Structure 1
Amino acid sequence: MAKITLTEFLSMDGVVQAPGGPDEDRSNGFEHGGWLVPFADEDMENYMAGLFDAVDAFLLGRRTYEIFAAAWPKVTDENDPIASRLNTLPKYVASTTLDKADWHNSTVLSGNVPEKVAALKKEFDRELQIHGSATLAQSLMAHDLIDEYRLLVFPVVLGKGKRLFEEGVLPTAFELVDSGTTRSGVALLTCRPKGRPTYGTFELAE
């Protein structure tokens, strides 16, 4: 059975909106698109390429799918570690508005997406990878369906924008299983859920 992994770019205040360019997502008047680009370096490139070594298929939200489908088919180098996987492996796009997905080997998931994703886990052996796709990720988080989080935290605060961990998210405790940093200052955190949080208190001795 495959595990579901989420790779997400976050600012220090948790924003995930439009990391790669000004026009990726301007909804709600967001004007900070492209905030990760100044920190992209060879370390980040190598880290991302390594993640794609374990993928069997991709789970994508509609917006992320459309961004990827407009860009990655133009990268035709069969040795590119990211494009070669994205352009050939199965892609499942969660959407209530798309009737079809034209990018090679793409399938639209509609209806009860968490239920369908849970069934997909049984069809693959390694990883079903989510990249970006925060709305999809949130719907799966609500059902404890994400097995591992790869969070790239960039040293920038934006003050507004869509966040991965919005108010009302299912309370979850995590264990940190790996960490690192790039030379540009990006924290690379790999975390796995370990159930509901536990609580305590610091009491002063009498």
Structure 2
Amino acid sequence: MTSLTLTTFVSLDGVMQAPGGPGEDSRGGFEQGGWLVPYADEDMGAFMAKVFDEADAFLLGRFTYEIFAGHWPRVTDPDDPIASRLNTLPKYVASTTLKSADWHNSTVLGDDVVAEVTALKQRPGRELQIHGSGRLAQSLMAHDLIDEYRLLTYPVVLGTGQRLFADGAVPTAMKLTSSKTTGAGVAIHTYTPAGRPTYGSFLLE
């Protein structure tokens, strides 16, 4: 079976919108795009290269797909650890509006994304990777379909923007499986879901 993994960049207050540039995603009037860039260093690059080396295919929301398709085909270095995989490996796009996907080896999923992703996970392989794609990730989290979360948390508070764990998220306990910190201060944590949270109380009898 294939493992479904999510790798995403978040601020200290959980915002994941437009990390890579000012014009990347201004939905909702967001004006702070590019907040990740000052913290990108060799440590972050090495981690991301390792992540992409585990991929057999990618699962992307429409918005993230269009951002990637506008950028990565222009990176033609065959030794680039990210572009070489994104440009060649299968890409599955979850969209109700996109009718075709022209980027090499791309397929638009049907209307029942949950069923199609469940079927993709049944195939033999290593990782089907989600990158960014916040709304898609939220819909899959609601069905307990994500097997591993790789969260890169940046030392910045944004105060507004789309958050990965939005109000109404399914309560989920997580098990920390690895952690590291980059030289620029980015905390990288890897989690696997551990069922529903358990609760206790410090109140005195």
CA contact (8 A) 1:56 1:124 kept: no
Aligned to 1:3: 3
Counterpart in 1 of 2:179? 179
Letter in 2 for 1:131: H
Task: Look up the match of 1:54.
Answer: 54
89-98 or 121-130, which deviates more: 121-130
**1:79 aligns to what?**
79
C-alpha separation between the residues in 2 aligned to 1:114 and 1:23? 30
Q: Which ranges of structure 2 fall in alignment gaps of 5 or more residues?
A: none
Aligned length: 205
Q: Whole-Å Cα distance in 2 between the matches of residues 153 and 111 of structure 1?
A: 32
RMSD: 0.8
Q: Compute the TM-score of the two structures, normalised by the length of structure 2.
A: 0.98
TM-superposed CA distance for 1:124, in Å, is 3.5
Q: Aligned AA for 1:25?
A: D
> Aligned runs of 1:180-195 on 2, under 5 Å?
180-195=180-195
Report the TM-score, using the length of structure 1 for normalisation: 0.98
Structure 2 counterpart of 1:127: 127
Aligned to 2:30: 30
For residues 40-67 of structure 1, the C-alpha deviation after alignment (integer angstroms, 9 at most, x for no partner) is 0010000000001111000000011001
- Counterpart check, 1:68 vs 2:68: yes
Structure 1: stretches of 5+ with no match in the other structure:
none
Find runs of 4+ consecutive structure 1 residues off by over 2 angstroms.
none
Cα offset, 1:110, TM superposition: 2.7
The superposition leaves residues 152-176 of structure 1 with CA deviations (integer Å, 9 ceiling, x where unpaired) of 0000000000000000001000000
Q: Percent identity?
A: 69
Cα displacement (A) at 1:183: 0.4
Question: 1:163 matched to which residue of 2?
Answer: 163
- 1:122 deviation in Å? 1.6
Residue type of the alignment partner of 2:45:
E
Deviations for 1:118-151, whole angstroms, at most 9, x for unmatched residues?
A: 0001223100000000111001000000000000
- Which amino acid is 2:21 matched to? G
Give the structure 1 partner of residue 40 of structure 2: 40
Partner Cα distance (1:142, 1:110) in 2: 19
Q: For 1:111 and 1:184, how far apart are their aligned partners in 2? A: 41
